[in-house]
Amino acid sequence: MKKSRAPKLGIGLLVLGYAFALYWVFTRSTPVVSSRPITIRIAHWQIEKGPPDGIDAIIKRYEELNPRVKVEQVLVPESVYRQWVRSNLTGGTGSDLIEYGVWLDGLTDIPARYFEPITDEMMRPNPYNRGTKLEHVAWVNTFTDGLALQRLNAPDPGQFYAVTLTELSERLFCNRDLLRTITGSDRTPHTFAELRVLFRQVAAYAARTGRPVHAMAGARDNASWLMQFLLQGAMMESSQRNDRYGVLAVYAWDELGLYLDGRWSYRSPEARAGLTLMREVSLSMKPGFVQSTRDAATQEFLRGDAVFIFAGTWDGTSIRSQATFPIDVLRFPQPTKDDPVMGPYFYGRFADGGGGTAMEFYLNKQSPHPKEAIDFMHFMTSVEGNQLFTDHSGWLPSVREVRVPPSIAAYLTPLDCYTFGAEYMTLGSSVNSAVLRNFYLLAGSQGSVDQFVDAMEAEMPEAVRTDLRKEVSNRAIIVRPQDVAIMAKAALSRRAPQDASLLLARERLESSQTQSEALMLQMGRQLERAGPAK
Amino acid sequence: MLCPLLAAGAASSADLNEAWLAIANSHPKDALRKLDESDPARAVQLARAVALMAQQSATDDNVRAAEKIFVELATGNDEPADEAAYLQARLYQLHYVQPDYAKAAELYQALAQRHPRSHWAQLGLVKLALLKLYVVPDTTAAGSDRLAPAEALLAQISDPLLQRDLNLQIGQAGVALKQPLARFLPHLVAADRVGGITATAREDLIVQIGVLSMRAGDWAQAKKYFERYLVEFPNNVRAYDVKLNLDDAIRHLAKRAGS
């Protein structure tokens, strides 16, 4: 009797389980078919604590206002983001809105190939700002920085491509308890000279107590951000001198050309000064930090093994929500005019983050719902939408008139510093790769400025040429199809003369094409004059 | 009159409109499907040739197929002729795998001589000027006036927007080619006066005229442009540096007034 009951029991359980699964799928899980006719997707790599919640809050409110549209947030780990973006865009399966950054290695052709300019929309007010102070302000001017950084990096200088969600800066996060334990005070350093004193105090404390604590949490990412910051500051006078166009900025393509003209190099005394400061800081990090990523530095700081961590405010929410100790947020203490290393090249306070906005979202040319995608871009960068982002992410807003919560007021960068935009590391993917590859030569007890400089100067001639050629070819990707677009707009405008927007679009395209083409020819000339790398 | 054309498979006006819309939306294959290869109408042939240019992958074969049509159309005396002639030049400048700037320059020149008032001829003069500035200069002798050939072409352009765009580029070329500041700064000011430049280029131009005016010792002009920048872009990251430059310009003006 017992033998015949067991199979029946098993079958019964199987049937029960199947029935339960059916019930769950059809009543509790996400619908297989959305009840909303349009779905748009927004993809990004900012899966650290903060932004996903911010975007979720935007989506929730947007869907309330737009019942026809469903918005899906696609979170892609940073480690695979580049491959994910390229393979999806090539395969025609990319999200409607895609986060992109010019520093993403190996993707410099992506904007030109796959992203649609939104210049016309940028010249008009954001409809979601109705009833606010920004109601009649052109969309571009509603951003706290006027989209300055995005403009610097736009593939086509006459066009706008992206909206931004946040203002970024870089800050020193300080473990107040640990600082007090080591120094007897919670006074944070105000100058680089005071920071040097602190480095010595921490080293002495570690030696005395045997506790493995360092002044700065170390990882390749954090160290490279800091190096970029220090180099920019050290090279400020050089950047000003090399600003031949007089635009108070130096674009990456121009910096590459200036290198070929011999107007700067890592051998210059000011570059060496910046690298020397970086080496000083690297000696206050744990040995072997170059092998670690930023998560390791964050963990080191949260464990209480480092007094400071230099991080972008993009890590602020993660760090502050997980810390078990009070954290002070301060601007990195800069060298002064009498600094023994940087004093001779001191130009003035330089931007720690530049006050520029970031977390750039671009419109995929292949989006099946461009109108809805742009509408979502409008909402997320409206006063209401961006306020939701800030309140739920703990990140700064990118839009004016959005209230900044007191808890993150320290992230704001006042307009009290030089921002030249001149990057001496992320000029292009080849130069950036060379810097990161050789970084270990600068850092740690075995490293030196000379070793790093020698290695870089050996690689730079070829790396710069490669990156400048990429700049030319990226612009060609944009410029070539513009001939077709211009003809099409001209033909359509003739057939519909009452539609003034077609004529305006053609005129603007002709103008921006001429600008890009001229740039291509200039860069081509530069490459030709420089000849092959020796 | 219409019936024989329709019987011959001629594209209707609606078809042509749809074809151009398809081209504008980056769907050249759709456009080619709507347009009959044997349709003799010049407007249709032009649309076909542009669709061929737009095809991916961009190969010299596609470009040559387009050029064949352009060459035939360019012999006419109407707008399609001018568009075709202009586009033929563009193929040599940009679309063939190996550009031939000298050939492109020759074609732009020929179009301008045939129909100097045509928009396409004038746009071609802008492109020709860029070629003369950077890749097929009239002379590269040391100390030569590298801007003069482009300025000569500028004088042939009557469209104010095209004049603006060429003025802007002569200004930028003045920097790149290390010409005297006094030669090229007026071109930048002239470009600004027309207005309508968009995006980065506009903001850059305002700062640029201010800074270059300082370098030229024209403090009044510098002040005017820096003040304008701070009104239009008060929160942009360059505002700090612009303010310092403005203070400098004001100091110089005060000193001059006092002396």
pLDDT for the residue numbered A147: 86
pLDDT at B126 over 90: yes
pLDDT for the residue numbered B183: 95
Name the A residues in 226-285 with CB < 8 Å from any B CB. 243-249
Establish if A497 touches chain B: CB-CB under 8 angstroms.
Answer: no
Q: Which residues of B touch A261 (CB under 8 A)?
A: none
Q: Which residues of B touch A141 (CB under 8 A)?
A: 233
Q: Which residue has the tokens 């200088």?
A: A157
Q: What mean pLDDT is predicted for residues B144-172? A: 96
pLDDT at B7 over 50: no
SS3 at position A222: helix
The nearest alpha carbon in chain A to B119 belongs to A490
The residue count of chain A comes to 534
> At A230, which amino acid appears?
L
Name the A residues in 442-481 with CB < 8 Å from any B CB. 476, 479-481
pLDDT for the residue numbered B104: 98
ω into B57 cis (within 30 of 0): yes
DSSP, res A317:
H
What percentage of chain B has pLDDT greater than the value 90?
A: 74
Give Cβ neighbours of residue A20 (< 8 Å, ≥ 6 apart).
Answer: none
Name the B residues in 157-176 with CB < 8 Å from any A CB. 161-162, 164-166, 168-169, 172-173, 175-176
pLDDT digits (tens, 9 = 90+) for B173-222: 999 999 999 999 999 999 999 999 877 788 899 999 999 999 999 999 99
State the alpha helices, DSSP H only, in A141-219: 148-153, 176-183, 192-209
pLDDT for the residue numbered A353: 67
Count the Cβ atoms, other than its own, within 10 Å of residue B77: 9
C-beta of residue B37 within 8 angstroms of C-beta of residue B53: no
A483, B23: Cβ pair inside 8 Å? Answer: no
Give pLDDT tens digits along chain A (534 positions).
Answer: 455 677 888 888 888 888 877 777 666 555 555 578 999 999 999 998 899 999 999 999 999 999 999 999 999 998 899 999 999 999 999 999 999 987 777 787 888 789 999 988 998 999 999 999 999 999 998 998 888 777 666 767 668 899 999 998 899 999 999 999 999 999 999 999 999 999 999 999 999 999 999 999 999 999 998 998 999 999 999 999 999 999 998 888 999 999 999 999 999 999 999 999 999 999 999 999 999 988 999 999 999 999 999 999 889 999 999 999 999 999 999 999 999 999 999 988 888 765 678 999 999 999 999 999 999 999 999 999 999 999 999 999 999 999 999 999 999 988 888 877 677 888 888 999 999 999 999 998 889 999 999 999 999 999 999 999 999 998 898 899 999 999 999 999 998 989 888 898 899 899 989 999 999 999 999 999 999 998
Q: What mean pLDDT is predicted for residues B123-140? A: 92
A248, B90: Cβ pair inside 8 Å? Answer: no
In angstroms, how far is the first alpha carbon of chain B from the final one?
A: 82
Angle (deg, nearest 10), helices A176-183 and A192-209: 70
Burial class (CB in 10 A: 0-12, 13-18, 19+), A529: exposed
If DSSP states are collapsed to H, E and C, what string results for A70-105? Answer: EEEEEECCHHHHHHHHHHHHHCCCCCCEEECCCCCC
C-beta of residue B150 within 8 angstroms of C-beta of residue B134: no
A476, B215: Cβ pair inside 8 Å? Answer: no
Give Cβ neighbours of residue B182 (< 8 Å, ≥ 6 apart).
Answer: B216
pLDDT for the residue numbered B31: 93
Q: What mean pLDDT is predicted for residues B57-81? A: 92
Label residue B2 by pLDDT band (50, 70, 90).
very low
Rg (CA), chain A: 26
The alpha carbon of A510 is separated from its chain's Cα centroid by a whole number of angstroms, namely 30
The residue count of chain B comes to 259
> At A283, which amino acid appears?
L
A508, B198: Cβ pair inside 8 Å? Answer: yes
B94, A522: Cβ pair inside 8 Å? Answer: no
Establish if B30 touches chain A: CB-CB under 8 angstroms.
Answer: no
pLDDT for the residue numbered A397: 96
Q: Which of A91, A88, A153, A110 is CA-nearest to residue A477?
A: A110
Label residue B1 by pLDDT band (50, 70, 90).
very low
Quote the CA–CA distance of A316 and A311 in Å, as a whole number.
8
Q: Which residues of B touch A512 (CB under 8 A)?
A: 198-199, 201
pLDDT at B8 over 50: no
Q: Which residues of A touch B134 (CB under 8 A)?
A: 518, 521-522, 524-525
C-beta of residue A321 within 8 angstroms of C-beta of residue A216: no
> At A525, which amino acid appears?
R
A/B interface, count of CB pairs below 8 Å: 171
Nearest to B126 among A249, A351, A514 (CB): A514
pLDDT for the residue numbered A9: 84
pLDDT at B4 over 50: no
Q: Which residue has the tokens 């409206």?
A: A382
pLDDT for the residue numbered A101: 86
Q: Provide the whole-model pTM.
A: 0.86
Beta strand A97-99 with A38-44 is: parallel
Q: Which of A491, A313, A519, A461 is CA-nearest to residue A396?
A: A313
Quote the CA–CA distance of A58 and A376 in Å, as a whole number.
9
